[in-house]
Structure 1
Amino acid sequence: MMNCEEATRLLSEAQERPLSLSEKTSLRFHTLMCTGCRRFGEQMHQLRRFSKASRPTDKDADQ
């Protein structure tokens, strides 16, 4: 059974690399039961979206 430390590590790693099927399955099972880790995963997703949205585009560099 995955613990919260392992789950948050995988949630972070999932932002940088594809997880294996066994990692995805274990993580999904854990986050179904753990509100804290589920919320952490949602926050990681939001941070990634916000950081992508705040990147300057080529059009911004021309100005």
Structure 2
Amino acid sequence: MNCKQATRLLSEQMERPLSAKEIIALRVHTAMCVGCRRFGIQMKDLRDISKGYVNGENNNPEK
């Protein structure tokens, strides 16, 4: 698996369950590739922030 395939799967896992083969390949790649590992963390953080905003968990004191 290359970085392009890994980042595609990291994005897709937000919208659909990955197959066992995809999960294993992604885990192996991200174990070796710090760039893709960081991308995965950033994707998760963005998803969590977006969900929090939608659910009204905005910690902005001005509102």
TM-score bracket, normalised by the shorter chain, equals: 0.7 to 0.9
Q: 35-44 or 47-56, which moves further after superposition?
A: 47-56
The size of the alignment, in residue pairs, is 56
Aligned-residue offset at 1:39: 0.1
TM-score by length of 1: 0.86
Secondary structure of the structure 1 residue equivalent to 2:54: coil
Is 1:27 aligned to residue 26 of structure 2? yes
Partner of 1:10: 9
Aligned-residue offset at 1:35: 0.1
> Greater helix percent: which structure?
1
State percent identity of aligned pairs.
Answer: 61
CA distance in 2, matches of 1:56, 1:43: 20
TM-score by length of 2: 0.86
- Structure 2 alignment gaps of length 5 or more: 57-63
- Structure 1 alignment gaps of length 5 or more: 58-63
Cα RMSD for the two superposed structures: 0.9
